[in-house]
Each structure stands twice: as C-alpha cells, then as structure tokens.
Amino acid sequence: MKRIVSFLLFSLLFVWASGAQEYKPYLSVSEVRSSLRVLPPPPQEGSIEFLMDKITYWEYYRLRTADTLRARQAVIDADMSDPGALYSEAFGLTISKENTPDTYLLLQRSMECFGSSGCDEAKRFYNRTRPFVYFSRTSLTPGAEIWLRRNGSYPSGHTANFFGLAYVLADLRPERNEQLMRRANEGGISRLIVGVHWASDVAAGKIVAASVYEYLKDNPEYRAQLEKARKEVQALLK
C-alpha cells in the first residue's frame, strides 16, 4: 500500500514538473551568470561548516513533531506549482490566474529563471547528497524522494524561487517588501523542516536569487510584463 501511495505522489510530482514547463522562463542558463562562479563549493565532510549543517538538520528534524502546523506549512511550500497562492497573503492581494492574469504570468515565467536556470548547473556539478539520504531518514515529502535522490541539493532551487519571486513582487508593491522577504525566508526554512536541504543549500539559494534577479530586471520581456502586472495591481488597489 505504501508503495502505491508513493508512486501516486511521485506521478503527481511528475505531472506538476511537466506543467511548469508550459511557461517559458525569461532567462535561460546561458543568459545568467554561472552558479559555479557565483557560489563557493558546498561544505566538505569534516569541516566546521558541515558540522553546523548537521546540527541544523537535527534541530529542524525535531521541530517536525514539536510544531505540526509549521511542518504542515513546510509541506505546502514544497509544491510551487501555484506561486501566487504562496504569496497572496504577503502581497496583500489574491494572486491567481483568474484574478490577476498578468501578475500570475509574470510569476510563472520568472520562477523558472531562479530555480532552474539559476541553480541547475551547480546542482549537477556538485551533486550534493541530500540530508534525508545522508542520515537514512524519511523526508516530509516521501512521494518526491525518488526524484530528489537524483537531483543534487546545492543550491536550493526552492529557496532561489522563494526569494526571487519576493524580489519580483516587491517590484510591483515595494511597500510590501518586509512581508514578502519574511515569506521568502519562511520558504527557505521550510526546506530544512522537510529535510531535503542543508542550511548551506538554503543560503546558496538566496545568493543565486539575488544574482539572477540582476539579469532578470534588465530583460525586455520581463520589463514589459512587469509593467502590465503593475497596472493590473494598481487598478485592483484603487
């Protein structure tokens, strides 16, 4: 029965991943600075930094049972198929395909720039083992573990997405910057709670997000869609 459930969850993950590719990212890997040049190598076994990674893993591992509501939110944050839903509260407006189509499209096309175009090169090069594999533990998203075992953990693509989208939304509503950055930080911490990333992966994801954003904000297609989304948001706020 457990195998059947895991297979179904993995199938859903595959469907989501396929659907995400419907939105062409504004930037390809070749159009952003290589993450191998942006980031330092991940901490090595035996280093103080890796010891801190391991200590942090166990701290958040214990949090799963100590704070079940936060653990549940971490699982929700793992599914980024609808980034608008994850950010609506922090943004102060409901972001959806129906309510804000221009803002929704802006987020979907921007997201792949951070998590995929920005992170994939370093992920493949370092192929870092994820903490749930290293400690032979189960993550909070067991249905995704087959895929995660084949996908390096450094840097955290989800964290890059969370912070990158916060930058994009702050372009639309700068007065919500504090709430948006707080939400991005929660998204990064969620990866630690789920057990699929080390703390240094999350820190690296933040760096990638900032680097990619510098390229994204100068992209003509992004700027054109950003202006449409800004008008859409301003109309709703009147």
Could you give the residue numbers annotated as active site? 158, 191, 197, 201
Q: Among residues of the chain, what percentage have pLDDT more than 90?
A: 88
Q: According to the model, what pLDDT value does residue 46 have?
A: 95
Q: According to the model, what pLDDT value does residue 91 have?
A: 97
Residue 12 has pLDDT above 70, yes or no: no
| CA separation for the pair 190, 175 (Å, rounded) | 25
- Average pLDDT, stretch 223-233? 97
pLDDT tens for 21-50 read: 578 999 999 999 999 999 999 999 999 999
Q: According to the model, what pLDDT value does residue 23 have?
A: 86
- Average pLDDT, stretch 132-148? 96
Q: Among residues of the chain, what percentage have pLDDT more than 70?
A: 91
pLDDT tens for 76-104 read: 999 999 999 999 999 999 999 999 999 99
- How is the chain split into domains, by residue range? 2-237
Q: According to the model, what pLDDT value does residue 2 have?
A: 44
pTM above 0.85, yes or no: yes
- Average pLDDT, stretch 57-63? 96
Instruction: Give 34's contacts (C-beta < 8 A, 6+ positions apart).
Output: 121
Residue 215: pLDDT band (50, 70, 90) is: very high
Tokens 């990674």 belong to residue: 53
Residue 57 has pLDDT above 50, yes or no: yes
- What superfamily does domain 2-237 belong to in CATH? Phosphatidic acid phosphatase type 2/haloperoxidase (1.20.144.10)
| CA separation for the pair 104, 82 (Å, rounded) | 9
Q: According to the model, what pLDDT value does residue 159 have?
A: 98
Residue 185: pLDDT band (50, 70, 90) is: very high
